Amino acid sequence: MKDIYDRRKFIRTGTIASIGLGLSGILRPFTASAAFQKNLLKVGIIGLDTSHSTAFTKMLNAEPADPLFAGFRVEAAYPKGSEKIEASASRIAGYITEVKKYGVEIVSSVKELLKKVDVVLLESNDGTIRLDQAKQVIRAGKPMFIDKPVAASLRDVIIIYEEAKKYRVPVFSSSSLRYFENINDISSEMIGKVLGADTYSPALLEPSHPDFFWYGIHGVEMLYTVLGRGCRAVSRINTKDTDVVTGVWDDDRIGTFRGTRAGAKGYGGVVFGEKKIVPIISPKNGYKNLLIEIVEFFKTGISPVNEEDTIEIYAFMEAADKSKIQNGAWVSIQDVISKAKKAI
């Protein structure tokens, strides 16, 4: 899996975006490092209403252990994710049974979970409850991976990262689609300066969440993996089956995201380089690729995606919603971020 770790070598040169430099200025000595050195690091899961929870448990608790994940084990899980989203809530009973097969203890509250673990995977599918859950984890001083979406509003996303700064707790969030299959082919040596990109993914709707927060996040995160932070404004056009968002970056590069509502499902895109045009290929082992990054994050306390990148991704999606309401008008990313901060 050397190629996975080679991604950390990327720097912002106007080609592919860096995977990140961590949570700027918030890190403290990693409290779980001693436990890790003794192969005793305990992982807790909040939310058994998504297949990510069972997938991560199977990999971390496999016997024999995968050397990539040695020293990590899911010890406990608090199952409650969404009680309002039926498609998620209906999974909980089955997923409880599944993780118990791997020796995971089921607990009755987040508070109880935090007493038993060193680090946390925040997996509950419902972004509307993420702020409360994340605050509890951060104030307990536990490093945390937050699965998509970070929260159900840009305001809540910003508050979570502000909490992480205040309590000096490492936080990392990412879609597995950030680690697409041929990411290493998109480099200055291969295609030259990245001039623009188009991505696509399903964008299924959930009434309790802004449009793209629920599922379109995958395609948007791929776009930001290639182009990096610095989108100036977005415009959105939607029809019955498709939404297309166009973003203009500060250096005048253009990126588009197409969210599909019906028909064929898939993830991918195209990157336009000075030397070559190449496809973005969705990962064959997306969960594993992401878990490799999560484990490295727990080892070091350094997030592979910095907070500014993540906040702008959610600002991009929120700006797209505002543009939709305004019939495709251009909406400033910085205006959206400023308004969200004022609402805190």
Q: What is the mean pLDDT of residues 262-286?
A: 89
Has residue 23 got a pLDDT over 90? no
Which has more pLDDT, 269 or 263?
Answer: 269
E strands, 123-182, are 144-146, 171-173
Q: What is the mean pLDDT of residues 236-256?
A: 91
Q: Using 50, 70 and 90 to split pLDDT, how confident is the model at 203? A: confident
Has residue 30 got a pLDDT over 60? no
Q: Which residue(s) pair with 268 in the sheet?
A: 200, 281
Which has more pLDDT, 174 or 185?
Answer: 174
The rounded distance, in Å, linking the Cα atoms of 313 and 171 is 16
Give the position of tokens 């490093």.
Answer: 143
**Which pLDDT score, from 0 to 100, does residue 6 have?**
44
Has residue 78 got a pLDDT over 90? yes
**Which pLDDT score, from 0 to 100, does residue 9 have?**
38
Lowest mean per-residue pLDDT among 61-65, 91-95, 96-100:
91-95
Q: What is the mean pLDDT of residues 8-19?
A: 36
Has residue 22 got a pLDDT over 90? no
Which residue, among 184, 132, 187, has the nearest Cα to 163 in the 3D structure?
132
Rounded to 5 degrees, what are φ and ψ at 73? -150, 135
**Which pLDDT score, from 0 to 100, does residue 80 have?**
86
Q: What is the mean pLDDT of residues 29-36?
A: 47
307-310: long-range contacts at Cβ-Cβ below 8 A with a sequence spacing of 24 or more?
A: 307/23, 307/24, 307/26, 307/161, 307/164, 307/171, 308/24, 308/229, 309/17, 309/20, 309/224, 309/228, 309/229, 310/150, 310/157, 310/161, 310/173, 310/174
What are the angstrom distances between the C-alpha of 244 and each of 133, 201, 317? 33, 11, 11
Q: What is the mean pLDDT of residues 169-173?
A: 97
Residues contacting residue 324 through CB under 8 Å, at least 6 positions apart: 211, 236, 238, 243
Q: What is the mean pLDDT of residues 293-318?
A: 96
The answer to whether the bond into 64 is cis (omega within 30° of 0) is yes
The rounded distance, in Å, linking the Cα atoms of 83 and 77 is 16
End-to-end alpha carbon distance in the chain: 42
Determine the residue type at 245. V
Determine the residue type at 2. K
Determine the residue type at 19. I
Token output for 331: 């909406």
Q: Read off the pTM.
A: 0.87
Domains and CATH numbers, the chain: 21-175+293-302 (3.40.50.720), 177-285+313-342 (3.30.360.10)
**Which pLDDT score, from 0 to 100, does residue 86 have?**
64
305-309: long-range contacts at Cβ-Cβ below 8 A with a sequence spacing of 24 or more?
A: 305/19, 305/20, 305/172, 305/173, 305/174, 305/178, 306/20, 306/21, 306/22, 306/23, 306/24, 307/23, 307/24, 307/26, 307/161, 307/164, 307/171, 308/24, 308/229, 309/17, 309/20, 309/224, 309/228, 309/229
Q: Are 183 and 289 in contact (CB under 8 A)?
A: no
Q: Using 50, 70 and 90 to split pLDDT, how confident is the model at 196? A: very high
Has residue 312 got a pLDDT over 80? yes
Average pLDDT, the chain: 86
Q: What is the mean pLDDT of residues 273-291?
A: 93
Determine the residue type at 187. S
**Which pLDDT score, from 0 to 100, does residue 145 have?**
98
Has residue 10 got a pLDDT over 90? no
CA 299 to chain centre: 18
Lowest mean per-residue pLDDT among 35-44, 113-122, 200-209, 334-343:
35-44
Q: What is the mean pLDDT of residues 306-328?
A: 96
At 101 the three-state DSSP class reads coil
CA angle 341, 129, 309 (to 5 degrees): 45
The rounded distance, in Å, linking the Cα atoms of 119 and 74 is 10
Which has more pLDDT, 91 or 60?
Answer: 60
64 C-beta neighbours (distance < 10 Å), count: 6
